[in-house]
Structure 1
Amino acid sequence: MLLSCENSIKEVQSITSNEKAPERSGKNVEFIFTDSTRIKSRAFALEFLEVKTEDSEYQDFPKGGRITSYDKDGSIAGQIEANYAKHLISDQLWELRNKVVAISDDGKNINTELMFWDQGKGLIYSDQYVRITTDDGQVLEGIGFSSDDKMNKITLKKVTGEVYLNDETEQ
């Protein structure tokens, strides 16, 4: 029996290449991000894959997880949960997808289907539908937002919703 093949060496190498295979993987993992021994944030995930390609290095969290950030005094500054996350290591950028919920230390909730967290710039943002619930129950909706990562300075784009104002005029 005689068999022949018409694949080039490059085709064979691309099929057998480990370029996209995970370097590391794990289940039920916790990552702690520090700066000068101070914990800045923690990430928890059910599943973790670290992938290195010629173009980039990233951490993939296909089953989602939770990121908790901390103030300088160690108190919780905010938390973000999502059903999928990807961390672009060199860019210090998190991509969070599918039922993303961000909660600030003062009780604001941001709900969206896509959110980015730029750790280097201290910025969270999205260009998708977003629903913001304040600590006093007000609901604002819009398409797109940006904020500092503590959610103190939120800019909502294409706003809809109801806002209730207290009339504190003297009688």
Structure 2
Amino acid sequence: MKHKHINIRLFKTTAGSITILLAAAFFSCKPNKAEEIKELTNKEELPSLILKDLTSIVSDSGRVKYRFITPEMAQYDQRSEPIVDFPNGLHLYVYNVNEEIEAQVRCNYAIYHQNEELWELRKDVEAVNTNGDVINTELMFWDTRNKKVYSDQFIKISTDSEIITGRGFESDDRLENYKILNISGILHIDEDALESGSSSGN
């Protein structure tokens, strides 16, 4: 199935539009009936936009910042805290100023919190930086406004030389300058031993 390619800024809402909606509700002369209140409440829970098999680019001043691929995206603009929901997960690419991929993340479920500009990545999250370090967890927050990544869950980081496990994680948005807050184990990988073992088996 071919993916739809969209190059739009999905995640911007204006304070003006929110103000207008609030003003319209406040100055309404006719009292709301129970059915109307229920309909309004239900409307907040209904997505304003649903897209399937989507590839989208998020840019700033003409420069590509993010690209994501997802089976399904649902946007909820009517909520007091608007979100974009990815019920079947996504593959997120992060680009540097030269529009080169510097990090990428896969997960099986995600939410983008529009007001906070915050990605909430859940369920079998795997992130990879340009050095090839692989970070695995069940929950990761990506704060694009403050350019940081963090988690309070179990974390496993696999590099060329070691595997580190622990709980709690902090990093820059390039996933390069990271630290595990509470380390529970470090396994050093002996590449020479692995290569000799592989050779002897042939």
Q: Which residue of 2 aligns with 1:115?
A: 140
Q: Which residue of 2 aligns with 1:15?
A: 38
Cα distance in 1, alignment partners of residues 189 and 57 from structure 2? 41
Structure 1 residues 73 and 53, CA, compared in 2 at 3 Å: closer, same or farther? same
Q: Is the 8 A contact 1:49 1:61 kept in 2?
A: yes
Instruction: Check conservation: 2:107, 2:123, Cα contact below 8 A.
Output: yes
Distance 2:166 2:177 in 1: 16
TM-score after normalising by structure 1: 0.85
Q: 1:98 to 1:54 in 2, by over 3 A?
A: closer
Please tell me whether the aligned partners of residues 20 and 52 of structure 1 are also in contact (alpha carbons under 8 angstroms). Answer: no
Q: Percent identity?
A: 32
Structure with a larger share of its residues in strand: 1
> Over the residues paired in the alignment, what is the CA RMSD in angstroms?
1.8
Q: Which runs of 5+ in 1 are unaligned?
A: 1-7, 167-171
Counterpart of 1:110 in structure 2: which amino acid?
I
Q: Distance in 2 between matches of 1:58 and 1:90?
A: 8
Residues 1:55 and 2:43 are matched in the alignment: no
C-alpha contact 1:41 1:68 (8 A) present in aligned 2: yes
Show structure 2 runs of 5+ residues with no match.
Answer: 1-31, 191-202
Instruction: Determine helix, strand or coil for the equivalent of 1:91.
Output: coil
1:65 to 71, 90, 98: 90
* Segments ≥4 residues shifted beyond 2 Å: 12-17, 162-166
Deviations along 1:87-136, whole A, 9 cap, x unmatched?
011211000000000000110111000000000111111000010011x1
Matches within 5 A, 1:66-105: 66-105=91-130
**Are residues 1:151 and 2:175 paired?**
yes
2:163 corresponds to: 139
Q: Which has the higher helix share?
A: 2
